[in-house]
Structure 1
């Protein structure tokens, strides 16, 4: 388990993944050396990694939450193949290891940008069922950290770490020249200006200016990949809910205020609200489902899919990209 300094460091990195250790130390009331030592230990023991991510709307991307069912002998291979693709994130094995959940990003304005959804996945051997749910609106997640990671710092400490924002720049799209920078940041959000300059062909000064602009406009945010069991979250589940449209926004805002949830989004499909629950143990998850969610009458149906393992989190996986195995599979149903 992590102590208060570790938790403060994790929250600080989520607020600004590139904040200097000296500034984090000043906010936490410890030395720069202590912050650096704790950071290295968390990287080694908690698989901590800071990743810089493009906000999908600024990047002209649409996110899809895809559920795949496969035979137990092929599900892990499929999950790892999906994890090695650059257009996927949050690849998880759930429901006894036979269900794969993944977030897939596609271009918002390209008619041929859905190859994985329309061509690769339907032709993949071993898949017995597919459903794809477009993420219409995210109420919790992305730039907003799970409260299990966000309770260590005071409001004053948070303000000291927050990067400068320019609300007038909210609508500025990303430029083509930003892609190399964002690709490098997705692998290492704390890469030095010199390393980012080498990846982009820009000067370090240009890199510094563009980073500041992207953060100020909200086009770039930072996430922290780590083992959340060290924060006490040993029971994880994806929750698929059906809510009457008239009540969807109200219910989603209510769920976004629940400490047990790390992600809440409205989706297309028969279940129009999805959430990720992180709880200390199965008993706590049961209490959450039956008491807090059970008290919301507007939730008409609820399906829970326990997450067994996260194969890929927000950042890219190591290793070369993999093609999905091709071929027909007896009994495979087409995507709808």
Structure 2
């Protein structure tokens, strides 16, 4: 549920949390030039409302969860939501949407190589309600919640909040790393609440507060763990949600990818194999803005075919289940 009144300050606070989800309220207040008490009150209300939550996500590739796939599913009309909920609850699922159009569910999933045939050919296909299944391996993530900038803060404000170098690529496709018991416990604690104190995290992991701080800083600085502000985009003034599937001439794929990265409306985008080369989740202020994006953006001249759908329901985002599924 969103706060009763979403103000411009609310949007600026959320944008600040998107840069550093663990930033103290006083640091956010200083960056935005707003009184500490006001930021603390409004920021706390946003977190308590569930409109924004701070959650850690480990790099799935480097922590051995396997390779990424975008899975689209067609379902029997009467069971679309129930089928989508079943997919969302699977441990392999990072994000799951119910959308309009011929494929009513979309999921971003991670699966190790040894389980891919079992998952895609047997388990998902046998899910009650699924009538058709398409699996598109992800070649590269163009945009994720970690790198999305909705353009709300000035460059100076963003720089005042940033910790370390900005993350430009996530996840990183490299050799897996091994997390020990303490690091896994810290990750679980941060996944539940990314703003937990180091004292709380230390108790969960059985280490001192200082050790917890040092380990969390190391996990974040290497990009193995990222803290994501999982945001209801309506709070940011972006209530229109759409999913785009783009078929692009191969020489122009990177050009379109670059244009999508630069757009404040593109919340998520992936370069994939299959019939379409790019899948993108866009969030906009109005349907007129969506119409302009689909017909007037310069990158559309490189698009041979486009399928667009409204996102009707978000069942899971960055491994966080919707409240209706918890």
Q: If the length of structure 1 is used for normalisation, what is the TM-score?
A: 0.84
1:298 pairs with 2:302: yes
Q: For 1:131-170, what aligned pairs fall within 5 Å after superposition?
A: 131-147=134-150, 150-152=151-153, 154-165=154-165
Give the 3-state SS of the residue equivalent to 2:131 in structure 1: strand
CA contact 2:54–2:227 (8 Å) conserved in 1: yes
Task: Tell me how far apart the structure 1 counterparts of residues 251 and 240 of structure 2 sit (CA, whole Å).
Answer: 31
For 1:187, the equivalent position in structure 2 comes to: 192
For 2:84, the equivalent position in structure 1 comes to: 79
Q: Aligned to 1:264, which of 245, 269, 286? A: 269
Greater Cα shift, 297-306 or 116-125 = 116-125
For 2:316, the equivalent position in structure 1 comes to: 312
Give the 3-state SS of the residue equivalent to 1:237 in structure 2: strand
For 2:114, the equivalent position in structure 1 comes to: 111
Q: Aligned to 2:252, which of 247, 251, 275? A: 247
Task: Tell me how far apart the structure 1 counterparts of residues 308 and 73 of structure 2 sit (CA, whole Å).
Answer: 15
What are the ranges of 5 or more consecutive residues in structure 1 without an aligned counterpart?
Answer: 323-336
CA contact 2:190–2:196 (8 Å) conserved in 1: yes
Give the 3-state SS of the residue equivalent to 2:84 in structure 1: helix
The structure-2 alpha-carbon separation of the partners of 1:165 and 1:231, relative to structure 1 and needing over 3 Å to count, comes to closer
Greater Cα shift, 267-276 or 173-182 = 173-182
The structure-2 alpha-carbon separation of the partners of 1:25 and 1:172, relative to structure 1 and needing over 3 Å to count, comes to farther
Question: What's the offset of the Cα at 1:176?
Answer: 2.4
CA contact 1:25–1:35 (8 Å) conserved in 2: yes
Q: Aligned to 2:294, which of 286, 289, 296? A: 289
Greater Cα shift, 296-305 or 94-103 = 94-103
Cα RMSD (Å) of the superposition?
Answer: 2.7
Give the 3-state SS of the residue equivalent to 2:238 in structure 1: coil
Task: Tell me how far apart the structure 2 counterparts of residues 6 and 141 of structure 1 sit (CA, whole Å).
Answer: 22
Task: Work out which structure has the larger RCO, using CA pairs closer than 8 Å and 6 or more positions apart in sequence.
Answer: 1
Question: What's the offset of the Cα at 1:281?
Answer: 2.6
Task: Tell me how far apart the structure 1 counterparts of residues 23 and 220 of structure 2 sit (CA, whole Å).
Answer: 12
For 2:285, the equivalent position in structure 1 comes to: 280
What are the ranges of 5 or more consecutive residues in structure 2 without an aligned counterpart?
Answer: none
Q: Deviations over 1:184-204 (max 9, x none)?
A: 222211112233223323322
Structure 1 residue runs of 4+, over 4 Å off?
170-173
The structure-2 alpha-carbon separation of the partners of 1:259 and 1:224, relative to structure 1 and needing over 3 Å to count, comes to same
Question: What's the offset of the Cα at 1:272?
Answer: 1.0
Q: Deviations over 1:150-187 (max 9, x none)?
A: 422x22222222112499xx878543223332222222
Question: What's the offset of the Cα at 1:139?
Answer: 1.8
The structure-2 alpha-carbon separation of the partners of 1:129 and 1:172, relative to structure 1 and needing over 3 Å to count, comes to closer
Q: Deviations over 1:51-106 (max 9, x none)?
A: 11123343344221111111122221122222223331221111169711111112
* Number of equivalenced pairs: 313
Task: Tell me how far apart the structure 1 counterparts of residues 159 and 254 of structure 2 sit (CA, whole Å).
Answer: 28
The structure-2 alpha-carbon separation of the partners of 1:123 and 1:275, relative to structure 1 and needing over 3 Å to count, comes to same
The structure-2 alpha-carbon separation of the partners of 1:212 and 1:96, relative to structure 1 and needing over 3 Å to count, comes to same
The structure-2 alpha-carbon separation of the partners of 1:74 and 1:253, relative to structure 1 and needing over 3 Å to count, comes to same
Give the 3-state SS of the residue equivalent to 2:297 in structure 1: helix
CA contact 1:17–1:52 (8 Å) conserved in 2: no
Task: Tell me how far apart the structure 2 counterparts of residues 3 and 224 of structure 1 sit (CA, whole Å).
Answer: 18
For 2:51, the equivalent position in structure 1 comes to: 47
Q: Deviations over 1:258-277 (max 9, x none)?
A: 23322222101110111112
